[in-house]
Structures are given as C-alpha cells and as structure tokens.
Amino acid sequence: SITRHYKLNVVMRNMSRLCSTKPIVTINGRFPGPTIYAREDDRMLIKVVNHVKYNITIHWHGVKQLRSGWADGPAYITQCPVQPGQSYVYNFTITGQRGTLFWHAHILWLRATVHGAFVILPKRGVPYPFPKPNHEAVLVLGEWWKSDTEAVINEALSSGLAPNVSDAHTINGYPGPVSNCPSQGGYTLSVAHGKTYMLRVINAALNEELFFKIASHKMTVVEVDATYVKPFETDTIIVAPGQTTNVIVTADQGFGKYMVVASTFMDSPIAIDNVTVTATLHYSGTLASFPTTLTRTPPQNATSVANNFIDSLRSLNSKKHPARVPKNVDHSLLFAVGLGMNPCQSCIVGNGSRVVASINNVTFVMPTTALLQAHFFGIKGVFTTDFPGNPPFVFNYTDTVPPASLATTNGTRLYRLPYNATVQVVLQDTGIIAPENHPLHLHGFNFFAVGKGLGNFNPKKDPKKFNLVDPVERNTIGVPSGGWVAIRFHADNPGVWFLHCHLEVHTTWGLKMAFLVDNGKGPNESLLPPPKDLPKC
C-alpha cells in the first residue's frame, strides 16, 4: 500500500451546454471532476482548497471511513464546512474495499456540478473475480441545469413547493443533442472490435434514478456499489443517485456507431421529465458520418424492468468474497420514510404549507455545529439520542389516504448503537402525498438488502422470506414505491453516520437522520482523534 496525494481546487468555471454558458462550481475546472484512483489499503491525503464564495465539503461516497469519520464529509454531520479561502486535508485509509465509488460535494446543492469518480483497484496481484476486461471506462451520469442550482432550491424553500427539474441529463458531462439545442455534442466512447470493456457507471445526478442502455449490446453486471455480484446479463440497468454499477460489454458488433442512452426511472404517479441523454459507442474505423444505431430506454414508469434488474442482484458470496450477513439482530428498527406537509406562514405560494420529508415523522434539522465534534468533545445541546426506532403512530403506510395529521416534528435526533451491534432497518415507504421510490444512502457502512416487498411490512411473515445467504451488499438502496426494503449491517465503525435519501430535494426537505455508534473497548475500536486542520464552524 502507498500514500496517494491529491489536490482538489474548488474554482468557478464558465461552461457551455445546451446552447448557453454559465459559471459553475467545479473541481480543478472540470465537469465532472477528476477521477480519483486508489488501491485497496492505500492511504489517501486529499487536499481540498476552497476558492469560491460558498462553503464546501467533499464526501467519498461509499468509502467506509473506518474510525476516520472526520474525513467522511457531510457538512454539519462529521465536519464544519471548509470556508472560502480555507483548505482541509481529507486523510483516510481504504480498508477492505475495491470497486467503483464516487466523490461529491456534501453541502447545499453543490453536488450538481462538484462530483467525480472514485476508483479503487484491487490490491496488487489480486485479480477481479471475472475475466479481466481489455479496457475500462468511467461513465458519470449527471444533470445539467440552465439555472443556478442554489437559486433553484432557495426558491423552492421559500415557496414551500417542489423545485424545478434539470434541463438535461449528462454522460461524462455532455447531454448529447436535444430538441431545443440540436448542436449539443455528446460523449463518445471509442471501442475496438472484439475487445471487452468494463464500464463503471455512476449516477451522480441530484434527483433522478436512471435507466441506462447501449444499442445492440448486452451488459454483464459484475459489481454494484463496490461489491462484487454474481454476474448476469441484461440489456438495461437501473442506477439510482448514489449508486454505481460495473458492467462488462463485449464490442462484438464488427463495426458502426451505437447509441448509449440514459433516461429517468420514476415509479410514482408524478411524472418528472423525459429528457434522455445520449452518447455514442464508436467502433474504431467507422466514419463519423456513419448513421448511429438507435435504441430507447424503457418508459419512465417501467417498474417491472427496474424490479427485474434489482431482483437479479446477488452478492458474489464466493470463498474469497463471502457475504457476511448478520444472522441475528440486536436492534430491529422500522423507519417510515416519505413526504408530508407542514404549516408554513412565510411560504409565498405554498398556500400556508410547505412540503417536508421525514423518517418516523421526524424532519431532521441540521445543527450549526458538526455532530461528530459535539459527540467527541462532549458539547451539550447539539443533538439528542432519542430518535424513534419505530413510527410514532401506526397507519396504513402505503395507503394514499394519509393519517389525520400530516405535520411532522422537527429535531436533531440520533439513534445510538453500541459498538458492533447488529442492526436491521426496515425502510417503509409511506404514501403521504404520494408513494415514491427513495434511494436511501448510509454513510460509514455497507449493508445487506435481505428483503423487499410491496405494501406494509409484516413483521411476522416477511422475515421468514429474508435472504441471509447471498443478498446484495451496497451503500444505497431504493425503497420501493408503496413498499419496503429490509437492510442489515454490523455497527463496527464508531462515529456519527448519516442516513439519507440521495434525492437531493428530499434530503433538503428533511429525509435524513444519523446513527451514533459508540467506541468499543478493544484497542482498534474507537474513533481516532480529529486532525489539526479540521474546519471550525
């Protein structure tokens, strides 16, 4: 293992997309930002220097940060932001992980343009558990907004209503031609006939789950969220914000140009948008003027396509990569997740109410001091540890007729876990306002998705059907619209760990909470002390 040094300069840069130009916040002037490479066991020293007017933090999404929560990055959860003109060195070691992850800003809506791939190679000499592909490529799926994203969310917050949607999706920063800007270029991936390619597909978009497909080519899925899965073949994958998927594609079509396409998946009655992003798979030797073989993704509400894909995911669970699924559970929790309405006097157009989101009816309030600091230094009054392990009242969660009161309670409440506890969380979608698929992301851990179903979770019957052998292991999971998903993890990482919906708009509305994991008694079981340059609030 080695120590790798990176420097990320946060700078403004003018970018032209969709036939207009605007300044965006970037890392090193690039959109998406640079790919960070590491190997399992490497130590990372990544210096972030803030040259813009916004506060910033960077999160290494999916990196477990064993005992190094100070480097995790969510603003006001594990650190105070890096203020304009300041810098911070994220110092962490990659332990027991290899695969595709990504990094992104974890404050305000800066993630819209501040993100990039994080590729962890296996230890030297350790092969992939599948035939080594000839080539590898990173495909970052994102969004392009014509307006300033901070203005978009601020407007929504003051009106109490939902924010606008993006103007296009992007693949490696480019939307491809769209109807109101036919000259917009798209990303081109050059391939050679007969070669195999591992595509590292990352959904870095703020608010939309995406279907992804390549004309005339099958994909073999080999990894999700930096964990190996039993390989299977598909023509469409589904990636939620916060998720990554590695697929192997064989360039088996002698010749030509093939459309690569991503579009919204939304298994809810609310239609979001239909903007499709296109890129091109270009066989070497094919003339640029050659016509592209077209394809389309499934319709926006193609829930069965999404479910087929999700249900095909299984941990590899081989001798070398066993699935360590917790068999017994110390803490069994039921989290009702969803949207609601709260009264709001100041909301301009929201008719006296605003959209909020909650877990177990708690709308999480961001503190003004970082929770991890408050915990480590014993600063009182920043949070409480009474987060409810169950919904405060029982109702038919998946009925669209909501319970009597829609109002949620506000609080910075954490759920406390002893070191090494085994935890099961059933994430239950609620139909208040509307059922919707929520990609929930847990910091600090991977979890196993042991069960999933439609309707209300049944604590007597459903656990009997749990898969405790080879469930998929990941860090972000879609809570099915009108249904539930059960996850299990070992709380073997002391610190404060955020759990939130990776649809940025839902996080903003309060669909978030945090676990506080105590230190263990052993020599390597406590949170390390904070670095000297840890930003102050």
Residue ranges that bind ligand C2O, judged by CB under 6 A = 59, 61, 74, 104, 106, 242, 441, 443, 498, 500, 502
Nearer to ligand C2O, 76 or 498 (CB): 498
Write down the least CB distance from residue 103 to ligand C2O, Å.
Answer: 9
Interior angle at CA 420, CA 414 and CA 424, nearest 5: 65
Write down the least CB distance from residue 476 to ligand C2O, Å.
Answer: 7
List, in sequence order, every residue forming a beta bridge with 14; answer none if it has no partner: 23
Write down the least CB distance from residue 2 to ligand C2O, Å.
Answer: 26
Q: What is the DSSP letter of 183?
A: T
Nearer to ligand C2O, 74 or 340 (CB): 74
CA 497 to chain centre: 14
Nearer to ligand C2O, 61 or 438 (CB): 61
Residue type, 263: S
Is residue 242 within 8 A of residue 149, CB to CB? The reply is no
Write down the least CB distance from residue 187 to ligand C2O, Å.
Answer: 22
Write down the least CB distance from residue 207 to ligand C2O, Å.
Answer: 13
Q: What is the DSSP letter of 294?
A: P
Q: What is the largest CA-CA distance in the chain?
A: 67
Tokens of 64: 């477990």
Write down the least CB distance from residue 430 to ligand C2O, Å.
Answer: 21
Tell me the C-alpha distance between 107 and 81, whole Å.
8
Nearer to ligand C2O, 258 or 364 (CB): 364
Nearer to ligand C2O, 106 or 375 (CB): 106
Nearer to ligand C2O, 417 or 514 (CB): 514
Handedness of CA 388, 392, 394, 399 (dihedral sign): negative
Nearer to ligand C2O, 440 or 534 (CB): 440
Write down the least CB distance from residue 197 to ligand C2O, Å.
Answer: 26
If DSSP codes are grouped into helix, strand and coil, which group holds residue 139?
strand
Token pair 């829609």 in the structure block, residue: 406
Preceding omega of 32 cis (within 30 degrees of 0): yes
Is residue 195 within 8 A of residue 134, CB to CB? The reply is yes
List, in sequence order, every residue forming a beta bridge with 227; answer none if it has no partner: 224
Residue type, 131: P
Write down the least CB distance from residue 58 to ligand C2O, Å.
Answer: 10
Q: Return the beta strands (E) in 128-184 as ranges.
A: 135-144, 168-171
Residue with nearest beta carbon to ligand C2O = 61
Nearer to ligand C2O, 60 or 383 (CB): 60
What is the enclosing helix (H) or strand (E) of 152?
helix 149-159
Write down the least CB distance from residue 180 to ligand C2O, Å.
Answer: 31
Tell me the C-alpha distance between 537 and 370, whole Å.
8
Residue 24 phi/psi, 5-degree rounding, is -130, 160
Nearer to ligand C2O, 106 or 413 (CB): 106
Nearer to ligand C2O, 341 or 477 (CB): 477
Write down the least CB distance from residue 441 to ligand C2O, Å.
Answer: 5
Nearer to ligand C2O, 118 or 383 (CB): 118
Write down the least CB distance from residue 77 to ligand C2O, Å.
Answer: 8
Residue 470 phi/psi, 5-degree rounding, is -135, 45
Residues in the chain: 537
Tell me the C-alpha distance between 371 and 379, whole Å.
9
Nearer to ligand C2O, 97 or 297 (CB): 97
| DSSP track, 63-110 | ---TT-GGGT--BTTTBPPBPTT-EEEEEEE--S--EEEEEEE-STTG
Q: Return the beta strands (E) in 206-352 as ranges.
A: 209-214, 219-224, 227-234, 236-239, 244-250, 257-265, 277-283, 292-293, 331-343
